[in-house]
Structure 1
């Protein structure tokens, strides 16, 4: 059994820095609608953390723990904000209210529960690109308040 993955663990921090570097590099050349760019980058970053062999077990442990414990749930939201949402928002320049960002985090937790914990089909076996294509509009709608 691997060691638990905590928000400040080297694996999470390294994955966060790598994801942020990729997002910054990609946005240097591309000028697109920031909400579109943000939602797709956010989902790719989140799915990457959940599917990367170095971070997968820790992320899934946090998702499972968040269901039964308010404290674990808050810790998981901190991880999401620090390693996924905030870096993606900085890289793309998207701005939204704190409430909207929290609602987006809730959408990510729901996606993780369906895809990785409950393994609801066809969500569980869909390619990541298909999840991004289908789910990004919901993230955009939440950010825009529409």
Structure 2
């Protein structure tokens, strides 16, 4: 009569190492810059459609086809994702300082106004700018991020170029004139401003901007 041989006790499988927040797996980060660009584009679309309050990191990740951990890895918090989206959207507007410097001071209002509305009239740059402005109008966190970026990277450059008394206030008043007109035309779509020819708007707004920047 044969004796039954004892079966070896199976070794337990090693426990999986828990994922750390913000540390994506190798497969998730394989796309590198391409994945980062997708996240940024999805963030702009989500903020444009839902606004800051209703947009979530999870929703941005889902739209980009990545895990939420990858969003945290590249950008951090939702506020930081928004700031990155703002920076990308506002990048064309940062050339405004060059628009001021290139030419005589008595034409600075015309150059800046034409540059500004050139950015807004271009559909490729208008769409992300609308996302930023709409979010900032409805949420204080988004507004704070936008103010920080605008002051640090746009208004300070303009005031540095002016070299006039009260240069910072002059730059802010000029910006208020331009941004206010853009909100009425592109966001609120107030008629007849919304349908007016861009050249007509530039011709009327430029002298006012000039007065803010260099007037007595």
Query: TM-score w.r.t. structure 1 length?
Result: 0.68
Consecutive unaligned residues in structure 1, runs of 5 or more = none
Which stretch shifts more, 43-52 or 66-75?
Answer: 66-75
Consecutive unaligned residues in structure 2, runs of 5 or more = 1-40, 45-83
The whole-number CA distance in structure 1 between the counterparts of 2:148 and 2:174 is 13
- 2:96–2:112 Cα contact (<8 Å) kept: no
**Secondary structure of the corresponding residue to residue 205 of structure 2:** helix
Deviation at 1:48, TM superposition (A): 1.9
Instruction: Identify the match of residue 123 of structure 1 among 165, 190, 193.
Output: 193
Residue 100 of structure 1 is matched in structure 2 by 170
In structure 2, the CA distance between the partners of 1:71 and 1:43, relative to structure 1 (3 Å rule), is: farther
Deviation at 1:124, TM superposition (A): 0.9
1:53 aligns with 2:53: no
Which stretch shifts more, 80-89 or 133-142?
Answer: 80-89
Question: Could you say which structure has the greater relative contact order, defined with CA pairs below 8 angstroms and 6 or more residues apart?
Answer: 1
Deviation at 1:134, TM superposition (A): 0.3
Residue 71 of structure 1 is matched in structure 2 by 141
Residue 8 of structure 1 is matched in structure 2 by 87
Deviation at 1:133, TM superposition (A): 0.6
RMSD, matched Cα: 3.2
